[in-house]
Homo-oligomer: A and B are copies of this chain.
Amino acid sequence: MTTDFTATRALFHIPEGMIYLDGNSLGPMPRAAAARVARTVTDEWGDMLITGWNRAGWMAQPTRVGDRIARLIGAEPGHVVMGDTLSIKVYQAIASALEMNPTRRVILSDSGNFPSDLYMADGLCRTLGQGYTLRVVAPEEVLDAIDETVAVTMITEVDYRTGRKHDMKAITARAHQKGAIAVWDLAHSAGAVPVDLAGCRADFAVGCTYKYLNSGPGGPAFIYVAPRHAEAARPALSGWLGHEAPFAFDPDYRPGRGIERMRVGTPPVLQLAALEAALDIWDMTNMADIRTASLALTDQFIAGIEAACPTLELATPRDHDARGSQVSFRHPEGYAIMQALIAHGVIGDFRAPDILRFGFTPLYIGADDVTRAIEILAKVMAEALWDRPDYKVKARVT
């Protein structure tokens, strides 16, 4: 099956005249999402009330949806579950992983990781005390920094600013060779690049769904635990829905089977309904086709901007193997440039101090969009449209 991207594109709502290159921050709305969520509100919550937990399948929704995501990230079926936010899932994963390596005290990460991952890890280390430490190195130093002191590696596969992609297989292998547990954050990978968690022998993985997977604002996160750890990992956030028998209301906690134990509280049923509408589109495609199309789009954008805008400095690797599904350029006036570009209908975003960031998502972005985006950015730069007072509110960082 080859993906028909013309067909998938028609299934998203993009406002008229807008070129949306920010799906790496918040994916656009699948046209079916509104009806799907409305049905969940009216027909399920409204009419089924409490019986919706069984009749509408809300209780099993986190694992049912998890299985649909498992296919996109190379996870074994039955080993992904939805819930909470990505930061909470990061905490769950590293807390469990640290306990699996009790003689060591170091979480290794890199400075390209998303700050919330670093904050959550640092917060966990402070809670644990006893010498637990977060060690942060430069992205290119990760492989060499994995030594026998490292308990857990916590790496985000694709850098949120530059789109630089780590080598999951090599880092995981090195972690295992040195006796460390590998935790992967797939925030900018799931739906963006092919991921092979099982093939890479990742130990834990986490990710969010409101970026490339298009679940909408505040969509739930997911967590993967490798089958070989699934019955051993102790959940630090031991909520009732991760209990072996939640409705027995036992006073003592007994972890549920496998990935079920990583559930915590009541699942966000309305957000999951929106995600299910998006996954209906994902079911029409495969990550190999997505990757081929994504690389063509990012190659086109890099070539076009470099030819037309010499003052923009590429921050994204040219090497396909080291690139996610976004392209970033640096410019000291990046904030004003992005404001001007947005005002002209091309939506990217800005990340301090100087990064212009553009996400490319073949499901709804085509070569024509890229051509047009290049033309508009070229015009903004050539005519210095950004160099006006209304765009130069440089103090503000959004």
Contacts and interface: CB of A to CB of B under 8 A. Distances in A.
Interface of A: 13, 15, 18, 20, 22, 25-26, 28-29, 33-34, 37-38, 41-42, 44-47, 49-50, 52-54, 58, 84-88, 91, 95, 111, 114-116, 118-120, 122-124, 126-130, 136, 208, 210, 216-218, 220-221, 234-241, 243, 245, 247-253, 264-272, 274, 347, 349, 351-352, 397-398
Contacts of A44: 217
A239 B340 CA distance: 31
B265 A216 contact: no
Query: SS class of chain A's interface: helix, strand, loop or mixed?
Result: mixed
B210 A266 contact: yes
A238 B122 contact: yes
Given A49-B22, A50-B26, A216-B270, A234 B126 contact: yes
A269 B87 contact: no
Contact of A46 (B29, B42, B123): B29
Given A119-B239, A136-B251, A249-B351, 9 more contacts: A20-B49, A26-B45, A41-B216, A45-B217, A53-B217, A87-B237, A119-B253, A127-B236, A217-B266
B239 A116 contact: yes
A124 to B, nearest CB: 8
Contacts of A18: 49
Contacts of A245: 397
Contacts of A25: 50
11 contacts: A13-B46, A85-B239, A85-B266, A87-B264, A95-B127, A115-B250, A118-B253, A119-B253, A123-B253, A124-B236, A220-B268
Given A127-B95, A270-B37, A352-B249, A239 B87 contact: yes
A156 B115 CA distance: 34
A181 B91 CA distance: 25
Contacts of A84: 84-85, 88, 265
- 7 nearest A-B pairs in the assembled complex, by CB-CB distance: A85-B265, A123-B238, A116-B240, A87-B239, A217-B269, A218-B268, A119-B253
Contacts of A236: 123-124, 126-127
Contact of A111 (B221, B251, B265, B347): B251
A268 B265 contact: no
A42 B31 CA distance: 9
Given A120-B238, A268-B271, A352-B248, A22 B38 contact: no
B46 A41 contact: no
A42 B29 CA distance: 8
B87 A218 contact: no
Nearest to A39: B34
A237 B123 contact: yes
Nearest to A160: B249
A24 B271 CA distance: 22
Contacts of A268: 218, 220, 268, 270-271
